[in-house]
Structure 1
């Protein structure tokens, strides 16, 4: 089973002339593995055994000429085809193994070379020779004898590893496979050796085959990666890596129909007050044009920063139809959205509702849900990376030569960083985008219709952007920041809920909204001092009296008496006489002879005492109380 090559074939392999190969034959270069033949015109020619060439030349020949020689090798194989389950030609093996064919071929050539050395061993050399060959090629003696037998029966092609007929199929029953995979797919990530141990215990009970650990390893390797991800890393990782994604198109949207927002921590170290800071940017993008419509930088992300970025966007490009946002607490705060139904019905709507902007929230923990994420990657790559102070989006990206001490001295201030960002945003909005067919966001914005044409004034916008909170109006006013705020217009609304809006930079006043209408501007209430003057007391006395009078008049205006309410509720339970006795006391003398004597300025006794008090002699006052006592005893 020798593959014979012509001198022309060998010359092509070595890149020399055919005459050079003939001279090497005469010098015995090919170890005598040459035979003479009759060539053209009855001249002597030579054939060279392929195995006499170096391994790299054998491999080169089989890869380049293997298809042409396939029939010859196939003929050799067919000699004892009954002993082989299924035979393949060299060409078929090339197709089956694909990219791995070259590696399989190289392995077969090494086996062949070892076998030929084994065959050439003389009498008495086998014991030591076999050991030397096995050590040289890394084969076991058992493997070498098996390769020799295969080569004798099937030739070189027999040494190329064949694909198994049952490849991909398991010898285990389905329930055993399910048990193996179920044991492995646990959050604590069991070791495969432990799964083998568990399988063997289970197999003994169930009567399954006691297979080798390699078989169990192979079953575990077949587990799909999505299953491993979900079992080991959880739903969040699975959603990000393997959850099927919907590819959205934005070409059918109108300008400002959808704005999307997200926060981004700048990968820039900024010096401030002797410390290194990393600021956060909140930015809004119009999904139809991909334009960055507004942004705001702050030390930390919060709902007020998001609102400030929204305000700048509205002033520049108008009102959006829907705001598409993350699920974070900042976006769902009461400042932007009413936290609860109770707050909503008490008159607090939040900025989005007040501006008639719809809201939509992305799928939680889904990084692919917001297209603005790609913008931040581009932003960091094209701008942040080249600014002084770039510290990398992660530790791995951090420049090795960056120094906090140097940044404190020569780093960019946040004002300088803002200027660079402003310039970048302008450039980005006026650069062609492949997703827009080569047009710029600004060009598309001019071509496509707006979703809304209404627009608040800056004053109205500023008022709505104030911080807001639901409060209760008490008789002391409205308590906020640990102090009370007051305005006389609050008096008719004691006990009511209201919405207060305020500027965090000016806490001296609150804008108070009752039933959705601006009622007053309450100011920081002046607390009554222990050294308050009589005029102060009189002023507050009048204010309290007025508040009480207004409250009494409001109750009286309802024109429903207490006795009426009682009569309506009790008339079904007792007769009218009993009800009248309860509502109108029969013995009025009992009331007139009450033990407590009222002596305020409106009663007769009070006026009588006042006359005694005006006398110069203090004893008169005692005489008055003696007289009261005598009258009381006589009544007894």
Structure 2
């Protein structure tokens, strides 16, 4: 036999070529097959191996057998067990060498092991053993050249396979990868039911099928979680998340805001009933300290602004960035739009750009992106659960006092919901003295209040309270009607609103003070400060003894009449002014003949030649047009004199005609040209 060195890859290549040759020539004899093998080995394999520059290992002269079986795998959890068993074998071998009677020594070793005197850790793993089992451990240890891994059970690297059919595997996996999260037992029951009906074959035992399903789900967590629980579960529990180093932030760099529905009841100041409210919390990321908070019935923009205003005034400066939730209230256009990039006619400007604060929003349905969510969990466990009006974080967490027919618990543990002011005082005390002064693991043992209070205030971002009050006024878009501006079921009015009836305006208001509102047009120009209107008595005659309603009604009635007169005067002045401008503009156009008329044609029947009467009527019109404008005189004498002179001029303008023989007066006859010159035509 040829002495050569062969690795596993070369043998696989040779074996594949050998199988191909065997399939091509099935009629070859065993002698030919042996010759072919020897020829291939001598020609192909040996030269390639000899040319390689590898370090040769001494090989025995006899033929070396190749073990093509994969090596058995030693689980990590078996390493400790193997080390303990090897220690046990070493101790036993040492004691057997020094003893006088090995039989008595084995009995003593067995007693000490079972009584947990000799290596109690090994007894906790292997349990009680007899002398025969202990002797077998030592024999295996010696026969394998003191290899400790020979004492533990090894596993197949390809995994343990179960004898179930291909159809059963695919059918069960298909049912398990269902978003309805079908149970393993239900899937096996359906499979066996179809098998009883003869629709499929399922020879495997139910326990074997269950073990297969359990192992498949354990070995494929990503696929099973994606199909059964969806992408959100995979992103939170399977796929890694981004690691953030919060130590790079300074106090005031980023403030995080979010809403949290409280798990205890608070008395509503409007209705007087106990209900759960929403806490708007503003949280400094660097120090993990809550800087501002407000309580609201819902998560709306008004209370969000209150929480931020509270934070601005508490710290004394403005943050650089705010990190907001992606909820409906935080995405309000009234709150975060960029002022310089948007027109107020279409989108109202926001508060943050005016304060030179950048706003960023967290990704939807990604609670891990907001560090404030962890604070809410701590707040619920350390504060909310200690209140008597606690209702539970969910239905399963509901206290026994809210269960049905729990009369004993309700009588012993009485629920007393706090008022709104009491709840705010308790929350402030917990944040300042309980949570704020407790050491935080993310702050290197420092407390949140210690880190927050020691941070210096930036000079360029300090808060001026007077300017902040105007900036933080809430804004809303409204339309003006004849009764004024209707807002929160209240009406506001000012005289300047008359010219804006039917128009859209922007009002600024403080929801804590409803007496006045500031009104601006859509270009952010100030209009007026409207006052809250007061409703009058519906029928004043029923309250004759009270003079106050009468005086208020008369005052408002006089104001309405004054508005009417002012409107009439302004309208009259506008009409006259516009008419004068129009007349002045159209006066030169009346004497210009229209030469471009295309729809005016001469009549088909010509008019008769005008006679004397028609001619005289035309002359009278010409004379009247040339008369000077009439002026108003107060005295009757001047008026009579003017009328006489006017009539005398008209009589002089009338031409003389030959009178009849019976007429007494015969004026001087004038020619036609003289009359035309007299009246100014020629």
Q: TM-score, normalised by structure 1?
A: 0.56
Post-superposition CA distance 1:462-512 (Å, at most 9, x none): 334333211244676544456654334345556653211223454453211
Q: Work out whether 1:68 is the aligned partner of 2:66.
A: no
Which residue number in structure 2 is paired with residue 308 of structure 1?
A: 306
Which residue number in structure 2 is paired with residue 426 of structure 1?
A: 432
Which residue number in structure 2 is paired with residue 94 of structure 1?
A: 152
Q: CA deviation at 1:376?
A: 2.1
Which residue number in structure 2 is paired with residue 9 of structure 1?
A: 106
The answer on whether the counterparts of 2:301 and 2:335 sit within 8 Å (CA) in structure 1 is: yes
**Judging changes above 3 Å, is the alpha-carbon distance between structure 1 residues 294 and 12 closer, same or farther for their aligned structure 2 residues?**
same
Post-superposition CA distance 1:226-256 (Å, at most 9, x none): 3333323333333333342112112222321
Choose which of 241, 245, 252 in structure 2 pairs with 1:256.
252
Q: CA deviation at 1:263?
A: 2.4
- In 2, the alpha carbon distance for the partners of 1:292 and 1:248 equals 20
- In 1, the alpha carbon distance for the partners of 2:246 and 2:571 equals 59
Does 370-379 or 337-346 show the bigger shift?
337-346
**Unaligned stretches of 5+ in structure 2?**
1-100, 114-125, 403-408, 540-552, 587-593, 604-682
The answer on whether the counterparts of 2:278 and 2:296 sit within 8 Å (CA) in structure 1 is: yes
SS in 1 for 2:311: helix
SS in 1 for 2:247: coil
Q: CA deviation at 1:314?
A: 0.6
Which residue number in structure 1 is paired with residue 227 of structure 2?
A: 231
Which residue number in structure 1 is paired with residue 177 of structure 2?
A: 185
**Judging changes above 3 Å, is the alpha-carbon distance between structure 1 residues 260 and 551 closer, same or farther for their aligned structure 2 residues?**
farther
Which residue number in structure 2 is paired with residue 151 of structure 1?
A: none
Alignment of 1:342-421 (within 5 A): 344-346=344-346, 348-397=348-397, 400=400, 403-404=409-410, 412-421=418-427
Which residue number in structure 2 is paired with residue 118 of structure 1?
A: none
Q: CA deviation at 1:74?
A: 7.0
Which residue number in structure 2 is paired with residue 43 of structure 1?
A: none
Q: CA deviation at 1:581?
A: 6.6
Alignment of 1:195-206 (within 5 A): 196=191
- In 2, the alpha carbon distance for the partners of 1:401 and 1:441 equals 35
Choose which of 543, 546, 563 in structure 2 pairs with 1:539.
563
Q: Work out whether 1:501 is the aligned partner of 2:500.
A: no
Q: CA deviation at 1:336?
A: 2.4
Which residue number in structure 2 is paired with residue 613 of structure 1?
A: none
Number of residue-to-residue matches in the alignment: 449
- In 2, the alpha carbon distance for the partners of 1:168 and 1:344 equals 70
Choose which of 499, 519, 527 in structure 2 pairs with 1:519.
527
The answer on whether the counterparts of 2:172 and 2:187 sit within 8 Å (CA) in structure 1 is: no
Which residue number in structure 1 is paired with residue 23 of structure 2?
A: none
Q: CA deviation at 1:420?
A: 2.8
Post-superposition CA distance 1:141-192 (Å, at most 9, x none): xxxxxxxxxxxxxxxxxxxxxx456425689999997776445322234542
SS in 2 for 1:246: coil
Larger-Rg structure: 2
SS in 2 for 1:352: helix
The answer on whether the counterparts of 2:362 and 2:369 sit within 8 Å (CA) in structure 1 is: yes
SS in 2 for 1:266: strand
SS in 2 for 1:511: strand
The answer on whether the counterparts of 1:332 and 1:339 sit within 8 Å (CA) in structure 2 is: no
Larger RCO: 1 or 2 (CA < 8 Å, sep 6+): 1
Which residue number in structure 2 is paired with residue 467 of structure 1?
A: 474
SS in 1 for 2:369: coil
Q: CA deviation at 1:319?
A: 1.3
The answer on whether the counterparts of 1:487 and 1:522 sit within 8 Å (CA) in structure 2 is: yes
Q: Work out whether 1:332 is the aligned partner of 2:331.
A: yes
The answer on whether the counterparts of 2:484 and 2:497 sit within 8 Å (CA) in structure 1 is: yes
- In 2, the alpha carbon distance for the partners of 1:197 and 1:555 equals 98
Q: Work out whether 1:246 is the aligned partner of 2:304.
A: no
The answer on whether the counterparts of 2:334 and 2:476 sit within 8 Å (CA) in structure 1 is: yes
Alignment of 1:266-277 (within 5 A): 266-270=262-266, 276-277=274-275
The answer on whether the counterparts of 1:325 and 1:331 sit within 8 Å (CA) in structure 2 is: yes
Does 283-292 or 229-238 show the bigger shift?
229-238
Choose which of 507, 514, 517 in structure 2 pairs with 1:510.
517
Query: Superposition RMSD on alpha carbons, in Å?
Result: 5.2
Q: CA deviation at 1:90?
A: 8.3
Q: CA deviation at 1:534?
A: 7.7
- In 1, the alpha carbon distance for the partners of 2:513 and 2:572 equals 32
The answer on whether the counterparts of 1:322 and 1:359 sit within 8 Å (CA) in structure 2 is: yes
Does 341-350 or 287-296 show the bigger shift?
341-350
- In 2, the alpha carbon distance for the partners of 1:90 and 1:261 equals 59
**Judging changes above 3 Å, is the alpha-carbon distance between structure 1 residues 333 and 11 closer, same or farther for their aligned structure 2 residues?**
same
- In 1, the alpha carbon distance for the partners of 2:576 and 2:532 equals 28
- In 1, the alpha carbon distance for the partners of 2:210 and 2:580 equals 88
- In 2, the alpha carbon distance for the partners of 1:209 and 1:425 equals 63
- In 2, the alpha carbon distance for the partners of 1:556 and 1:471 equals 38
- In 1, the alpha carbon distance for the partners of 2:279 and 2:311 equals 14
Post-superposition CA distance 1:548-574 (Å, at most 9, x none): 86799899999xx99xxxxxxxxxxxx
Q: CA deviation at 1:275?
A: 5.4
Q: CA deviation at 1:265?
A: 3.2
SS in 1 for 2:235: helix
SS in 2 for 1:282: strand
- In 2, the alpha carbon distance for the partners of 1:172 and 1:282 equals 57
Which residue number in structure 2 is paired with residue 630 of structure 1?
A: none
**Judging changes above 3 Å, is the alpha-carbon distance between structure 1 residues 174 and 391 closer, same or farther for their aligned structure 2 residues?**
same
SS in 1 for 2:518: strand
The answer on whether the counterparts of 1:337 and 1:350 sit within 8 Å (CA) in structure 2 is: yes
**Unaligned stretches of 5+ in structure 1?**
17-54, 76-87, 97-162, 563-575, 588-636
- In 2, the alpha carbon distance for the partners of 1:522 and 1:544 equals 23
